[in-house]
A and B are shown apart, each in its own frame.
Chain A
Amino acid sequence: MAEHTEYFDRVAQAVVDCDKDTCLRLLDEGGDIDPLEILEKGLGKGIRRIGDDFGAGRVFLPELIGAADVMKAGVAVLDERIKASGRARESLGKIVIGTVRGDIHDIGKSVVASMLQANGYDVVDLGIDVDEAEFVRVAQEEKAACVGLSSLLTLQIENMGVVIEKLKDAGIRDQVKVIVGGAPVTQEFADEIGADAVGYDAADAVAKMKTLLGH
């Protein structure tokens, strides 16, 4: 539909510019436009452009994070309208993510969480220093499609293997994919512990997630 193209482009630009105020003002002004369309053609278009720019080295982490923040705020507004209209936003799947026990690094994990959210996944972010049992418990409760494990500490990544064992013990390993990431995490390590994929950076995590969950 050619209608509203200019409007959607302005919403997309607000995301690219990391301009939350403009984005929210535009959403306010676009109250009678289909919120699902604004989500896909406005916010979604903007975040995909930022993702491409980051991959090409035209923008860097602060822009990625800033754009994801705008997206998050915009989605919250649109979600209300979508619910009120009796429809549902299509979620590509629920992801439980966190930094493993013994590790308090959170920036990388939060960037991945934001990018997954921005790309249509529902993300439950457990934060930092998360017990193995907690990952499993929440994955079960939320009926998660995937658990994402992050760590920057060479000595703590072994806890990722423990999470996988506990998923097996709980009998849900077959239903839950596991993606791992963080600077010391290699494909070799992932293979050793039986993880399904490694996300080498936020963009890679999104791409791998799409493959893992069959999108």
Chain B
Amino acid sequence: MEGFTGKRVGSSFALTEEECRRVHAAVVRILEKGGMRCDDERAAKLYEQAGCTLEDDGRLVKIPEQVVADAFTTCPSGFTIHGREPKNDVAIGTGEVHFATMTGRYIRDVRTGERRKATRQDAVEGARMADALENVHGLYKSVMWIYDEPKIINSQILVGEMMKNTTKGMTWVYNTGAPNEIPDLVKLWQIAAGGAEALRERPHVLGHVIVNPPRVIDVNYTDWMIGFADAGIPITVYSATMAGATGPATLAGMMVQVIAETVALVVLAQAYKPGHPLCFCSFNPSMDMRTGLWSFGNPEYSTLGTGIAAMARYYGVPCVAFGNTDSCDTDQQAAYEKAMVLFNYALAGISLTWTLSGTAGFNFCAWDQMVVDNEVAAFVGHYLKGIRVDDERLSEETILKVGPLPGSYMHEEHTRRWYRDEFLMPELSNREFFETWERGHTELQEKAKQKALEILDTHESPVPGEVQDEIDEYLAHVRRRDVE
């Protein structure tokens, strides 16, 4: 699946190359002098094998510069999150910009506008919506949580329904911590791929491995790192460090800590499985000092994000990101915050941003929002092209031919040839003059809702029946084992 490309991809970052070098030097000092607290014995052993020193009975790991350098030499510069149909393959780290869905603790019902807890049916619909929209290149959890299913098998049902309703790639972060969560999800991904070997050859999942900030390697994410690596699933490594709370209040200081934490995970992952594909991720808000909550809408968030993207480029690995707004309503704040984040990321060449459908931080997902975001993605993608300059586009011949007034380009074949290519034709955004608009128009939100309903009515799952059946069988087995 072709993402958005263009000469403005990778044209703007929050750090210069020289500043990246300075951050790296500070990262090295932090990892050598301060190290990481390591709560996992397997991780401690891996660090030791890689050449790190263990102190405090194996609970503190100090990572030398050479170990860091060695780890990056085995990292691939890019990888693919495969679709379960090749047309949905997404290249990470090649300069293409992609967008994927976000999730929400709750859902804003597209039919009624009601804010409520998500159900299994919502999980299905979210995946179908994502499968249908052209600027959705992948999925995060179609809903965060399925409230009408038991906790102990929630992740399994969510993944199962996603696998039954789309062939686009997905991403996964730890959800319930249920004892069988990892093996069950791996099994479901294998069934969806067509077997364990098929998943290894064409992994359609990106797995998240995270540090507990500040600077703790924990048991839980070590479990996930091993699970993903063993199954052949590429990973994104990062920390959810929050400026002013679990990380420094200076953005430069945040870069030092966040990158130190990220690099520690790179070392761990490459120690476990040299050559395993990985990428960095932007997920570092500042703390709003009035509420104590994280802010994804404030400029610090994506500023740090493009700093992380700069550091990823410095180390030669790709970068992905989360994008959202803090507004709890579908309003101007939501629009300007999200648009700025997405635009910022795209200019930094971030390969994949989870954003479509998300609203109000992580509070809500909504299918009409996914439709609006689909259009925003198109805008951002178009900006990335900049002005394409070549002999044909310079149009000297046509300019001379049309001549001064009364010449007009409206009649030219040249115009017919080029306008669809060069101009964006937005589906939802108003382009009418006021008086026309006043005579009769449909609100943006209503247009988005109508499109969402149309998709839900007509878009069928592309997943073959046999695969859906096999998934259902496995989910039934899981339910018998854990619930009944």
Task: Check A155 against B287 for contact (C-beta < 8 Å).
Answer: no
Cβ 8 A contact of A155, one of B145, B245, B293: B145
CB of B420 closer than 8 Å to a CB of A:
no
CB of B382 closer than 8 Å to a CB of A:
no
Task: Check B151 against A61 for contact (C-beta < 8 Å).
Answer: no
Task: Check A57 against B151 for contact (C-beta < 8 Å).
Answer: no
CB of B410 closer than 8 Å to a CB of A:
no
Q: Can you name 16 extra interface pairs (CB under 8 A) apart from A155-B145, A201-B291?
A: A57-B290, A60-B289, A60-B290, A61-B287, A61-B289, A61-B290, A61-B292, A62-B244, A62-B249, A104-B212, A154-B105, A154-B145, A155-B151, A155-B176, A184-B105, A201-B292
Task: Check B292 against A111 for contact (C-beta < 8 Å).
Answer: yes
Instruction: Tell me the A27-79 residues at the B interface (CB within 8 Å).
Output: 57, 60-62
CB of A108 closer than 8 Å to a CB of B:
yes
Q: Given A61-B287, A62-B244, A154-B105 in contact, is the A107-B145 Cβ separation under 8 Å?
A: no
* Chain A residues with CB under 8 A of B249: 62
* Chain A residues with CB under 8 A of B245: 107
Q: Which residue of B lies closest to A153 (CB)?
A: B105
CB of A207 closer than 8 Å to a CB of B:
no
* Chain B residues with CB under 8 A of A133: none
Task: Check A183 against B244 for contact (C-beta < 8 Å).
Answer: no
Tell me the bound Cα distance from A154 to B245 in angstroms: 20
Sample (24) of A-B pairs whose CB atoms are under 8 Å apart: A57-B290, A60-B289, A60-B290, A61-B287, A61-B289, A61-B290, A61-B292, A62-B244, A62-B249, A62-B289, A102-B177, A104-B212, A107-B245, A107-B292, A108-B292, A111-B292, A154-B145, A155-B145, A155-B151, A155-B176, A183-B293, A184-B105, A201-B291, A201-B292
Tell me the bound Cα distance from A182 to B213 in angstroms: 20
Tell me the bound Cα distance from A60 to B290 in angstroms: 5
From residue B210, how far is it (CB to closest CB) to chain A in Å? 13
What 6 A-B pairs come out closest when comparing CB atoms? Answer: A60-B289, A61-B289, A154-B105, A108-B292, A60-B290, A107-B245
Tell me the bound Cα distance from A155 to B145 in angstroms: 9
> What count of chain A residues pass the 8 Å CB interface test?
14
Tell me the bound Cα distance from A183 to B64 in angstroms: 40
From residue B275, how far is it (CB to closest CB) to chain A in Å? 33
Tell me the bound Cα distance from A61 to B289 in angstroms: 5
Tell me the bound Cα distance from A104 to B291 in angstroms: 18
Tell me the bound Cα distance from A8 to B290 in angstroms: 29
Contact with A along B245-270 (1 / 0, CB 8 A): 10001000000000000000000000
From residue A112, how far is it (CB to closest CB) to chain B in Å? 10
Instruction: Tell me the B256-312 residues at the A interface (CB within 8 Å).
Output: 287, 289-293
Q: Which residue of A lies closest to B117 (CB)?
A: A154
Q: Which residue of A lies closest to B177 (CB)?
A: A102
Residues of B within 8 A of A (CB): 105, 145, 151, 176-177, 212, 244-245, 249, 287, 289-293
From residue B166, how far is it (CB to closest CB) to chain A in Å? 25
From residue B89, how far is it (CB to closest CB) to chain A in Å? 34
Tell me the bound Cα distance from A183 to B176 in angstroms: 20
* Chain B residues with CB under 8 A of A61: 287, 289-290, 292
Q: Which residue of B lies closest to A155 (CB)?
A: B145
Tell me the bound Cα distance from A57 to B177 in angstroms: 39
From residue A54, how far is it (CB to closest CB) to chain B in Å? 9
Tell me the bound Cα distance from A57 to B245 in angstroms: 19
Tell me the bound Cα distance from A155 to B293 in angstroms: 17
Q: Which residue of B lies closest to A108 (CB)?
A: B292
* Chain B residues with CB under 8 A of A107: 245, 292
Tell me the bound Cα distance from A201 to B245 in angstroms: 17
* Chain A residues with CB under 8 A of B176: 155
Q: Which residue of B lies closest to A61 (CB)?
A: B289
* Chain A residues with CB under 8 A of B291: 201
* Chain A residues with CB under 8 A of B290: 57, 60-61
Tell me the bound Cα distance from A201 to B290 in angstroms: 10
Tell me the bound Cα distance from A154 to B145 in angstroms: 10
* Chain B residues with CB under 8 A of A102: 177
From residue B287, how far is it (CB to closest CB) to chain A in Å? 7
Tell me the bound Cα distance from A111 to B287 in angstroms: 14
Tell me the bound Cα distance from A111 to B245 in angstroms: 12
Q: Which residue of B lies closest to A202 (CB)?
A: B292
Instruction: Tell me the A86-123 residues at the B interface (CB within 8 Å).
Output: 102, 104, 107-108, 111
Instruction: Tell me the A192-211 residues at the B interface (CB within 8 Å).
Output: 201
From residue B293, how far is it (CB to closest CB) to chain A in Å? 6
From residue B184, how far is it (CB to closest CB) to chain A in Å? 18
From residue A97, how far is it (CB to closest CB) to chain B in Å? 16
Contact with B along A159-196 (1 / 0, CB 8 A): 00000000000000000000000011000000000000
* Chain B residues with CB under 8 A of A62: 244, 249, 289
Tell me the bound Cα distance from A201 to B244 in angstroms: 18
Chain A CB within 10 Å, residue with most, of B145, B249, B289, B292: B292
* Chain A residues with CB under 8 A of B292: 61, 107-108, 111, 201
Q: Which residue of B lies closest to A59 (CB)?
A: B289
Tell me the bound Cα distance from A183 to B292 in angstroms: 9
Tell me the bound Cα distance from A58 to B245 in angstroms: 20
* Chain A residues with CB under 8 A of B151: 155
Tell me the bound Cα distance from A183 to B295 in angstroms: 14
Chain B CB within 10 Å, residue with most, of A102, A104, A107, A108: A107
* Chain B residues with CB under 8 A of A155: 145, 151, 176
Tell me the bound Cα distance from A104 to B245 in angstroms: 14
* Chain B residues with CB under 8 A of A184: 105
Tell me the bound Cα distance from A201 to B177 in angstroms: 29
From residue B482, how far is it (CB to closest CB) to chain A in Å? 17
Chain B CB within 10 Å, residue with most, of A57, A61, A183: A61
Tell me the bound Cα distance from A184 to B292 in angstroms: 13
* Chain A residues with CB under 8 A of B287: 61
Q: Which residue of B lies closest to A62 (CB)?
A: B289
Tell me the bound Cα distance from A107 to B293 in angstroms: 10
Q: Which residue of B lies closest to A104 (CB)?
A: B212
* Chain B residues with CB under 8 A of A201: 291-292
* Chain B residues with CB under 8 A of A111: 292
Chain B CB within 10 Å, residue with most, of A62, A155, A184: A155
Tell me the bound Cα distance from A77 to B216 in angstroms: 34
* Chain A residues with CB under 8 A of B212: 104
Tell me the bound Cα distance from A210 to B212 in angstroms: 36
Tell me the bound Cα distance from A62 to B290 in angstroms: 9
* Chain B residues with CB under 8 A of A154: 105, 145
